[in-house]
């Protein structure tokens, strides 16, 4: 369509998809608009049902629709976004199958990139907390929980097993409450397949900074109902506390208590999408400031909708970040862009919300519906399912979800750990003081480098434990077991909060085999440490084995 106004929409969530849909419709009606959409995924996720994926009430792909089946007249780029140049009016796309640089020019840009869960600043969170925002997160949480059940079922150390069977969720807003309830329901059903797991060792803990869950989202009566409904379902609700640190095996509460756990799901805190943040647009609280037309303040051709935007409602307050608002904002943005193209006046966003719903597990929910109607318990749960089912895009999606709900009623749960990820490359890990990175005799499966903090290396020879060295930033350890392929020859334990870079054995050996400078350094260190070990066995000096 030569000469058409080029609109590029960034993001494939509620805001982006409905904006593209609105623009497509206007184009069909005659507006000279060409629509492109850039999304990291080739599908749209029906976000409100993600907790059901964790629970297994619906199948992994039941809540997703291929973007191309929703958007028949939009050019779709399944790519990361490398950056946006607002002056040159181009979006720079990330690499596809080839690393070739590809730019997408635009006349109007619609930002619908949402926000991201941002764990920076809380020790151990970036490394060990599981976010819950995307389909990949939901699948990862489900797989992790099943993995933990498998390992707990063959763990004879009671203390370790109890830690494995403790599941902690941080954040009692909509998504935190829903994922906690879903997880609890799933565990109570799945446990029947694990007869060696003592059922009373199962703990699900929800940590919330307020005095009631959902207190910011609902009226105080419903928030109180929700809080007690979760407790009645067997969930331990810890109020007025936050999590301040985490490791692979613990979560630390603001009150100082440490929960032993291998599973920490966190829905907080969220911050601006990095692509949006780099644009230099006016922002407030991580959201792009817009006027009531959904146009970015002081910009003529940049629009923002959904969770990445701050749009005033008619009463002047900012819109809450919900799907229903994103959908209405996208309609306003689409018709205003078309109005710009033909030089017509712009509309103002005027939507005040339809109601609020939250599932609470055990077939209960809470709801505030239009006209002041409030529901709690089973009726609210039925309203939840009926409403969201009716909002699923397309008949095919509706059929698939209905069939899954039916199957879930009549068939046993299906705890399959879908193990698709072969290797994960270098990762980071955080340890709280006193926690062991590994113990003497363990399997040597990684090399570690100290990024921050301190650890102590000790050896037990003939019953007596002896500290052989302390290591700090810049030092590495664990190479001896990898180079020699034998069990760990010492114990490494954090003595201060410890951050490590972890290189899996396969990656380490590949680097060592191919990069001579890399290998030489490690071999030299391993030799020095081994001879120190030998000397010590004969009775002397310290080193840092592994």
Site for its own copies in 44-63 (CB under 8 A): 59-61
- Interaction residues for its own copies, span 213-232 (CB under 8 A): none
- 423 contributes a contact to its own copies by CB under 8 A: yes
Strand-pair category, 287-289 with 283-284 = antiparallel
- 396 contributes a contact to its own copies by CB under 8 A: yes
Instruction: List the one residue out of 390, 414, 416, 410 whose CA is nearest residue 401.
Output: 390
- Interaction residues for its own copies, span 270-329 (CB under 8 A): none
User: How many Cα atoms sit within 13 Å of 503 on the Cβ side?
Assistant: 17
- 435 contributes a contact to its own copies by CB under 8 A: no
Stretch that binds its own copies, among 121-129, 372-380, 383-391, 516-524 (CB under 8 A): 516-524
SS (HEC) of 242-272: CEEEEECCEEEECCCCEEECCEEEECCCEEE
Out of 4, 6, 32, 66, the residue judged to bind its own copies by CB under 8 A: 66
Out of 158, 350, 386, 399, the residue judged to bind its own copies by CB under 8 A: 399
- 514 contributes a contact to its own copies by CB under 8 A: yes
- Torsions phi, psi for 105 (to 5 deg): -75, 150
Contact 232, 382 (CB under 8 A): no
Instruction: List the one residue out of 227, 225, 175 whose CA is nearest residue 358.
Output: 175
Residue with structure tokens 């749209």?
A: 44
Strand-pair category, 108-111 with 5-10 = parallel
Contact 63, 48 (CB under 8 A): no
Secondary structure (DSSP) of 152-216: HHT---HHHHHHHTEEEEE--SHHHHHHHHHHHHHHHHHGGG-TTS-GGG-EEEEE-SSSSTTTT
- Interaction residues for its own copies, span 442-501 (CB under 8 A): 442-445, 449, 451, 474, 476, 487-488, 501
Stretch that binds its own copies, among 9-17, 77-85, 204-212, 340-348 (CB under 8 A): 77-85
Q: Which is nearer to its own copies, 312 or 504 (CB)?
A: 504
Q: Which is nearer to its own copies, 337 or 492 (CB)?
A: 492
Q: Which is nearer to its own copies, 55 or 146 (CB)?
A: 146
Supply the minimum distance, in Å, between the C-beta of residue 454 and its own copies. 16
Which two structure tokens, joined as six digits, stand for 43? 């599908």
Which two structure tokens, joined as six digits, stand for 51? 């907790």
Q: Is 300 helix (H, G, I), strand (E, B) or coil?
A: coil
Q: Which is nearer to its own copies, 221 or 412 (CB)?
A: 412
- 534 contributes a contact to its own copies by CB under 8 A: no
Which two structure tokens, joined as six digits, stand for 480? 């001896």
- 371 contributes a contact to its own copies by CB under 8 A: no
- Interaction residues for its own copies, span 333-362 (CB under 8 A): none
- 400 contributes a contact to its own copies by CB under 8 A: yes
* Cβ-Cβ contacts under 8 Å for 52 (sequence gap 6 or more): 58, 63, 182
- 120 contributes a contact to its own copies by CB under 8 A: no
Strand ranges of the sheet holding 236-238, from the earlier edge strand across to the other edge: 130-131, 263-266, 166-170, 203-207, 236-238
Supply the minimum distance, in Å, between the C-beta of residue 339 and its own copies. 29
- Interaction residues for its own copies, span 158-197 (CB under 8 A): 160, 164, 193-194, 196
Which two structure tokens, joined as six digits, stand for 314? 């008619």
Out of 1, 411, 464, 538, the residue judged to bind its own copies by CB under 8 A: 411
Out of 14, 125, 262, 303, the residue judged to bind its own copies by CB under 8 A: 262
Out of 1, 97, 409, 538, the residue judged to bind its own copies by CB under 8 A: 97
- 409 contributes a contact to its own copies by CB under 8 A: no
Contact 70, 263 (CB under 8 A): no
Stretch that binds its own copies, among 124-132, 231-239, 307-315, 412-420 (CB under 8 A): 412-420
Question: How many angstroms separate the Cα of 471 from the Cα of each of 86, 114, 361, 475, 493?
Answer: 48, 42, 47, 6, 10
Out of 30, 370, 425, 462, the residue judged to bind its own copies by CB under 8 A: 425
How many positions of this chain bind its own copies (CB under 8 A)? 87
- Interaction residues for its own copies, span 126-165 (CB under 8 A): 135-136, 139-140, 146-148, 150-151, 153-155, 160, 164
């Amino acid at each position: 369509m030569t000469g058409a106004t080029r609109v590029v929409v960034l993001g494939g969530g509620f805001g982006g998809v409905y904006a593209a849909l609105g623009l497509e419709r206007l184009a069909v009606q005659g507006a000279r608009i060409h629509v492109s959409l850039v999304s990291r995924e080739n599908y749209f996720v029906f976000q409100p049902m993600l907790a059901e994926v964790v629970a297994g009430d619906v199948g992994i792909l039941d809540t997703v629709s291929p973007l191309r089946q929703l958007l028949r007249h939009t050019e779709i780029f399944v790519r990361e976004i490398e950056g946006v140049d607002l002056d040159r009016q181009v979006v720079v796309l990330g690499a596809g199958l080839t690393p070739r640089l590809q730019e997408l020019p635009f006349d109007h840009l619609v930002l619908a990139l949402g926000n991201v869960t941002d764990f920076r600043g809380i020790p151990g969170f970036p490394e060990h907390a599981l976010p819950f925002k995307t389909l990949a997160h939901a699948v990862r949480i489900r797989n992790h929980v099943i993995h933990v059940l498998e390992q707990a079922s063959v763990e004879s150390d009671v203390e370790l097993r109890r830690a494995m069977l403790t599941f902690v969720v941080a954040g009692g807003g909509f998504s935190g409450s829903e994922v906690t309830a879903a997880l609890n329901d799933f565990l109570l059903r799945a446990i029947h397949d694990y007869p060696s797991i003592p059922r009373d060792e199962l703990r699900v803990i929800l940590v919330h900074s307020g005095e009631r869950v959902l207190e910011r989202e609902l009226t105080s009566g419903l928030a109180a109902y929700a809080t007690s409904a979760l407790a009645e379902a067997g969930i331990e609700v810890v109020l007025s506390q936050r999590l301040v640190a985490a490791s692979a095996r613990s979560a630390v509460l603001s009150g100082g208590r440490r929960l032993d756990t291998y599973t920490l799901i966190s829905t907080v805190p969220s911050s601006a999408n990095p692509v949006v943040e780099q644009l230099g647009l006016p922002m407030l609280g991580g959201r792009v400031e817009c006027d009531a037309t959904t146009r970015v303040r002081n910009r003529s051709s940049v629009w923002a909708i959904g969770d990445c935007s701050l749009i005033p409602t008619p009463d002047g307050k900012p819109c809450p970040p919900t799907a229903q608002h994103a959908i209405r904002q996208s309609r306003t943005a689409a018709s205003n862009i078309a109005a710009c193209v033909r030089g017509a006046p712009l509309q103002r966003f005027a939507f005040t919300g339809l109601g609020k719903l939250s599932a609470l597990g055990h077939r209960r929910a809470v709801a505030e519906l239009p006209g002041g109607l409030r529901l709690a318990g089973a009726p609210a749960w039925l309203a939840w399912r009926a409403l969201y089912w009716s909002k699923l895009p397309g008949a095919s999606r509706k059929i698939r979800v209905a069939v899954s709900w039916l199957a879930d009623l009549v068939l046993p749960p299906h705890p399959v750990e879908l193990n698709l990820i072969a290797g994960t490359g270098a990762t980071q890990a955080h340890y709280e003081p006193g926690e062991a990175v590994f113990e003497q005799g363990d399997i040597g499966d990684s090399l570690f480098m100290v990024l921050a903090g301190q650890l102590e290396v000790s050896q037990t020879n003939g019953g007596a434990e002896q500290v052989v060295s302390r290591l700090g930033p810049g030092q590495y350890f664990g190479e001896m077991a990898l180079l020699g392929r034998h069990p760990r020859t010492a114990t490494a334990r954090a003595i201060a909060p410890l951050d490590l870079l972890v290189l899996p054995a396969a990656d380490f050996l590949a680097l060592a085999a191919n990069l001579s400078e890399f290998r030489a350094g490690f071999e030299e260190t391993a030799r020095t440490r081994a001879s120190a070990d030998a000397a010590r066995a004969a009775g002397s000096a310290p080193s840092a084995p592994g």
